[in-house]
């Protein structure tokens, strides 16, 4: 996708905050802090990658964090029986399947994705409670060390979880920007009726978008479970809203049809650095919510103005 005003806006905002914190603190540019910032982007970032594909295609996935929880719980159970590696793979399959189920329900019932995914989110949380009895589940004692693989440093202190996030950015970024599938995602989000008349199976595209979101949610769930050494039904509650905020701040249009995964990555980093800056400067973190809300409002207002201007042309 070519650069536009949104690209420069989000990049300029990120650069300004980096410069401010570099001048204001002596610890921001230290290796330990930068590695910590990158590690903090992983869970929200993975959720945001999936949310980006959904929003570009014209739908919202509010079931992502519940999918994360149930996939992580399933991943722990699979790990207990089949080992860490296969447990992770089966968790990803579980997340993708749950995402596809959510997408199928929304497509075939024609309910709005906001309401449909909210309903499946409640269902998934309920299933997670049923599976665990409301308790915390953990891998076997002999598997604990291997289960924490995503917290392990790989290069320069950067964790395996961060590497996983970068891989997701590259893979799904290229999927959107360089493939026929990606062009169809943009087409469906931009004008679903025109895409349908052009031969695109719009329902299938939406189901696949939810499946990818579920896949990313499962990956995020396994990273979060790896950090804690366990999983439980209430994990990551509300994370999907932060992920959507990062997508919007990154410049992806909530109207659908425009956006990019790399922009979302910048949005995630921006939100994480803001939180990191409040901690380093010792500021009251209550105001962090005000700043985040203001950024979202500005991003949505700018998106609305651009959309209205394009409609008049």
Helices 261-281 and 42-56: crossing angle in degrees, nearest 10, is: 140
3-state secondary structure of 137: strand
| Mean pLDDT value of segment 212-227 | 98
Q: What's the whole-number average pLDDT of the chain?
A: 92
**Counting beta carbons within 10 angstroms of the beta carbon of residue 188, is it exposed (0 to 12), middle (13 to 18) or buried (19 or more)?**
buried
Tokens matching residue 312? 């008049």
Helices 42-56 and 239-249: crossing angle in degrees, nearest 10, is: 70
Q: What DSSP line would sit under 49-65, residue for residue? A: HHHHHHHHTT---TTHH
Q: What's residue 27's pLDDT?
A: 92
Q: What is the CATH number of the domain that holds 71?
A: 1.10.3470
Q: Are the beta carbons of 218 and 71 closer than 8 angstroms?
A: yes
For 137, phi then psi, to 5°, come to: -115, 145
3-state secondary structure of 307: helix
Sign of CA dihedral 275, 280, 284, 290: negative
CA-angle at 9, arms to 6 and 10, nearest 5° = 90
| Mean pLDDT value of segment 299-307 | 69
Domain count, the chain: 1
Query: CA end-to-end span of the chain, whole Å?
Result: 21
**Closest among 209, 230, 187, 269 to 17, alpha carbons compared:** 269
pLDDT tens digits along 23-42: 999 899 999 999 999 999 99
Q: What domain range is 241 assigned to?
A: 5-312
Q: What's the CA gap between 253 and 133, in Å, rounded?
A: 40
Is the predicted pLDDT of residue 1 greater than 50, yes or no? no
| Mean pLDDT value of segment 215-233 | 97
> 240-265 burial, b if ≥16 CB within 10 A, otherwise e?
bebbbbbbbbbbbbbbbbbbbbbbbb
pLDDT band at 289 (very low <50, low <70, confident <90, very high): confident
Q: What's residue 120's pLDDT?
A: 97
| Mean pLDDT value of segment 276-304 | 82
The tokens 């992502």 sit on which residue? Answer: 64
Tally the C-alpha atoms within 13 A of residue 154's C-alpha that lie toward its C-beta.
13
Tokens matching residue 260? 């990019």
Q: What's residue 71's pLDDT?
A: 98
| Mean pLDDT value of segment 214-233 | 97
pLDDT band at 253 (very low <50, low <70, confident <90, very high): confident
Q: Are the beta carbons of 250 and 264 closer than 8 angstroms?
A: yes
Q: What's the CA gap between 145 and 100, in Å, rounded?
A: 32
Q: Are the beta carbons of 230 and 73 closer than 8 angstroms?
A: no
């Amino acid at each position: 996708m070519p650069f536009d005003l949104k690209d420069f806006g989000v990049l300029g905002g990120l650069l300004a905050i980096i410069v401010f914190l570099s001048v204001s603190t002596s610890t921001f540019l230290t290796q330990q802090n930068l590695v910590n910032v990158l590690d903090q982007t992983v869970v929200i970032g993975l959720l945001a990658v999936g949310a980006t594909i959904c929003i570009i295609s014209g739908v919202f996935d509010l079931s992502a964090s519940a999918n994360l929880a149930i996939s992580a719980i399933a991943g722990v159970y699979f790990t207990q029986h089949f080992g860490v590696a296969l447990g992770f793979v089966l968790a990803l399959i579980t997340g993708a399947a749950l995402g596809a189920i959510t997408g199928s329900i929304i497509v075939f019932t024609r309910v709005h994705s906001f309401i449909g995914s909210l309903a499946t989110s409640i269902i998934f949380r309920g299933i997670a409670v049923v599976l665990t009895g409301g308790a915390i589940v953990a891998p076997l004692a002999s598997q604990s060390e291997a289960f924490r693989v995503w917290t392990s440093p790989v290069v320069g202190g950067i964790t395996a979880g961060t590497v996983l996030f970068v891989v997701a950015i590259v893979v799904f970024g290229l999927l959107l920007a360089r493939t026929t599938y990606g062009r169809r995602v943009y087409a469906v989000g931009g004008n679903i009726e025109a895409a349908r008349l052009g031969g695109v199976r719009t329902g299938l595209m939406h189901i696949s978008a939810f499946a990818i979101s579920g896949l990313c949610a499962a990956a995020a769930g396994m990273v979060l479970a790896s950090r804690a050494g366990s999983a439980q039904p209430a994990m990551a509650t509300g994370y999907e809203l932060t992920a959507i905020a990062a997508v919007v701040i990154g410049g992806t249009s909530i109207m659908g049809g425009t956006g990019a995964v790399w922009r979302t990555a910048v949005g995630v980093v921006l939100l994480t650095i803001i939180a990191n800056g409040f901690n380093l400067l010792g500021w009251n973190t209550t105001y962090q919510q005000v700043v985040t809300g203001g950024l979202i409002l500005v991003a949505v207002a700018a998106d609305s103005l651009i959309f209205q201007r394009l409609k008049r042309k």
